[in-house]
Structure 1
Amino acid sequence: MDTERNPRDHIQSLERGFAVLQAFDEQRTNPTLAELAAATGLARPVVRRILITLENLGYVRGEAGRWSLTPRVLSIGHHYSASHAVVEVSQPHLLRLAEQTNESASLAALDGSEVVYIGRVPVRRIMSINVAIGTRIPAHATSLGRVLLAWAPAERVQQVIDETGLRAFTERTITDPAEFRRNLATVRRQGYSLVAGELEEGLVSLSAPVRDPAGNVVAALATSTSTARADLDRLRGEIAPLVIRTAEAISSDYGYKATSGKATSTVHTAHEGFF
């Protein structure tokens, strides 16, 4: 792979095109050109040319001065799923986990300082935000993120700390960097993460790592519930082993083979001690 980066290789127009696409959200489902320009910080003539190009390609539609996305944008996410076998491999396991726990089951990957849902089987709505494929949540305050960061290089962990400042979402959110690193070490040692009420009051989630054929942690599997239904001792004693076994089954179907008789969730601790 070519690791050299030249500033001239950066295509600014492509970056701006994605910025316009990403400006469509729950607050701007049918925005005007002016609203998109304000959201992206781009000049109106630039946004207009980008919208016309995207319209010609079939990704947006303009009508009466307002713009909306077309179903074609879903193909981008479909291409991700088609090119990442772990998403397809995980689906029957997510369904089985949801049936066994009667709670939502999710698969997520790390993207910068956030985790992105790439697979999900919902059971009942437990969060005030709408969780769907593509939903992004802070890595530092979630069990999914803690699992993905627990096996990440030290510099990646530091990057998340620097970018987020370990922002507090509730009184329970871990905001001290030293405590955060200790928590990641615990996650790595026990093979799972249990987070209660750190992203949102009343939300409890438990996650375990999913590995690729080389043994790298590339995704996290989670089951989510609410504090009203959760018994933390039962989660640790009964549900954690179930989630770990399910994550191991996904890893195995994805091509990962354990190199010892130990559980796959406790091997490949190459970064042990960096916290």
Structure 2
Amino acid sequence: MNSAKHPIQAVQRTLDIVDVLREQREARVTDIADELDLSKGTIHCHLATLEQNGYVVKNGQRYALGLQFLDLAHHAKNRVDIYDITQAEVDALAAESGEMALFTVEEHGEGVCLYKAEGEDAVQTELYVGYRNGLYHTAVGKALLAFMPEERREEIIEETEFEQITPNTITDPDELREQLAEIRERGIAYNHEETIQGLVGVGAPIRDQDGTLYGAVSLIGPVSRMEDERLTEELPQLIRRAVNIIEVNITSL
């Protein structure tokens, strides 16, 4: 969402190459050059530098992302103060509910999944640690939006390009604002098939005693299991309990 006014071209090209490798898993120099409309010589120079530093590996004529990125990811997650104390509660939440449980934070106006745990009956989705999603169409995202400072919330809403992902996705900023006000009243956010048809989400924010927002946790499951009292009472109760434990532990940081 944020863009530099004067990006450094060489750095931007390197990041573009990394993005191509992320999307294609493996690619030849020619493939990357065609994708980015750059010369093969330019692509080769960038790849050679990335390979030298462990960020790219070469398999025959193809290149792929190197495991050095895992080290970066480890340190990136560790800058989130509550990461360690949240893991155990997300694991417990998944085990008790049988569903998929997520810990998500906001960065650059998007929700970033920092931790995922799967219960016995968890649905299989494309969600992975590091996955980014819009805040306006997920339960965890709406929980974050509802409880962040108003100025930041309005900034994100104004910059969001609302997309009709499913028939239930909110695309009207004013309708979203109304829903966020309701979420602040009850402390629980819902996603009623707004991201993926057939899937429902329940989420709640993680805050300290001063109201500072640290992130949010959520549960995701199929409509067939996420309805009636389970959706409105049982799962919110599990989430509130997990959040309460995390928030108590925040005081010891």
> Per the shorter chain, which TM-score range?
0.7 to 0.9
Gaps (5+ residues) in structure 2?
none
How far residue 190 of structure 1 moved from its aligned partner, in angstroms, is 1.0
Aligned 8 A contact 2:101 2:219 in 1: yes
Aligned 8 A contact 1:215 1:256 in 2: no
1:66-94: CA deviations, max 9, x gaps? 10112221111111223323111111101
Q: What's the counterpart of residue 247 of structure 2?
A: 251
Q: TM-score if structure 2 supplies the norm length? A: 0.87
Q: What SS does the aligned partner of 2:166 have?
A: coil
Gaps (5+ residues) in structure 1?
1-5, 258-275
1:77 aligned to which of 41, 50, 73 = 73
In structure 1, what is the Cα distance between the partners aligned to 2:81 and 2:152?
Answer: 24
CA gap 1:177/1:236 in 2 versus in 1, 3 angstroms: same
In structure 1, what is the Cα distance between the partners aligned to 2:230 and 2:5?
Answer: 53
How far residue 12 of structure 1 moved from its aligned partner, in angstroms, is 4.1
How do residues 128-143 of structure 1 correspond to structure 2 at under 5 angstroms? Answer: 129-143=125-139
2:53 aligned to which of 48, 51, 57 = 57
Aligned residues: 249
Q: What SS does the aligned partner of 2:27 have?
A: coil
In structure 1, what is the Cα distance between the partners aligned to 2:219 and 2:20?
Answer: 30
| Coordinate RMSD, CA, aligned | 2.5
Q: What SS does the aligned partner of 1:173 have?
A: coil
Q: What SS does the aligned partner of 2:129 have?
A: coil
2:118 aligned to which of 76, 99, 122 = 122
Aligned 8 A contact 1:214 1:256 in 2: no
Q: What's the counterpart of residue 18 of structure 2?
A: 21
2:185 aligned to which of 169, 189, 192 = 189
In structure 1, what is the Cα distance between the partners aligned to 2:210 and 2:8?
Answer: 33
Q: Which moved more, 1:247-256 or 1:65-74?
A: 247-256
Q: What SS does the aligned partner of 2:244 have?
A: helix
In structure 2, what is the Cα distance between the partners aligned to 1:232 and 1:250?
Answer: 27
Q: TM-score if structure 1 supplies the norm length? A: 0.81
* Aligned-residue identity in percent: 27
Q: Which moved more, 1:165-174 or 1:33-42?
A: 33-42
Q: What's the counterpart of residue 157 of structure 1?
A: 153
